[in-house]
Amino acid sequence: MKARESQLIIDRIKIKTDEEIELMRASARVLVSTLRLMESMVEPGVKTGALDAAAEEFIRSHGSVPSFMGYRGYPASICASVNSEVVHGIPGDRVLNEGDIVSIDVGVLKDGYHSDAAATFMVGAVSEDVKNLLETTREALMAGIAEAKEGNTIADISAAVQATVESEGFAVVRDLVGHGIGRDMHEPPQVPNFVSPGKTPDLVSGMTLAIEPMVNAGDYPVKVLADGWTVVARDGSVSAHFEHTVAVRKDGGEILTLEGL
């Protein structure tokens, strides 16, 4: 990235006040409770469409709006991505089976501010290799969050995520990245899960970021299915996804999507 392009991105990053962060935290509480509801419902025989319907009802019953519904034409309230589906799986008639994993990604808009988080759940018993994939992806997220502190750069987050993932022989997806978040669902800056050449923005207290490792058990290339949304691992390997909405602070990232209602 050229220096002028980098500066334009920095100029567009929206630093939040403490009051704005509290509004985002309120949105995040609804989101976390939604994810807990999803976790309680995930079992063999459940359709992903049933998860979506329950999530929408819950979010709206708490004075909030599903951020994903209608976003760029997306037709549902959650993304439900099964096995080799990385992200943006459209919920519907697909039935969850014993041994599957399903990544649930949720966004909530409340009082003008968005929150965004994801988790990958096991459907019954899964292999030890799949358990390791999920645990490694979760650890990579937490490693990235620890680097989300004033004085660091976006690249420090990226490096921590990538090192954690690759130490276990897994691969971080390159075509999809995390992002800033606030009044808009997607704000600058992008937050890659891998290190690439060039300068990345400095981190300043009050930035709010959605940090979200997407990790394949095989190689990192992906493709989009014919529905125009669902992203899958090109080699068919299983994929995990964990995400938190985080506020940059002086001593590390503060997780806003941590406590439920």
Supply the CATH number for residue 244's domain. 3.90.230.10
Output DSSP code: residue 95.
B
Q: What is the mean pLDDT of the chain?
A: 95
Predicted confidence at residue 79, as pLDDT, reads 98
The structural domain count of the chain equals: 1
12 located within any domain: yes
260 located within any domain: no
121 located within any domain: yes
- Point out the least confidently predicted range of 6-10, 11-15, 20-24, 191-195: 6-10
Residue 217: give the domain boundaries. 3-255
52 located within any domain: yes
197 located within any domain: yes
Q: What is the pLDDT of residues 91-129, one digit of tens each?
A: 999 999 999 999 999 999 999 999 999 999 999 999 999
Dihedral (CA of 192, 236, 122, 95) sign: positive
Token pair, residue 96, equals 């969850």
Predicted confidence at residue 101, as pLDDT, reads 98
> In terms of C-beta density within 10 A (0-12 exposed, 13-18 middle, 19 or more buried), how is residue 92 classed?
middle
Strand segments, DSSP code E, in 130-228 are 171-172, 178-180, 187-191, 208-211, 214-216, 222-224
103 located within any domain: yes
What's this model's pTM, rounded to 2 decimal places?
0.95
The angle subtended at Cα 229 by Cα 218 and Cα 104, nearest 5°, is 65
Q: What is the pLDDT of residues 142-186, one digit of tens each?
A: 999 999 999 999 999 999 999 999 999 999 999 999 999 999 999
261 located within any domain: no
155 located within any domain: yes
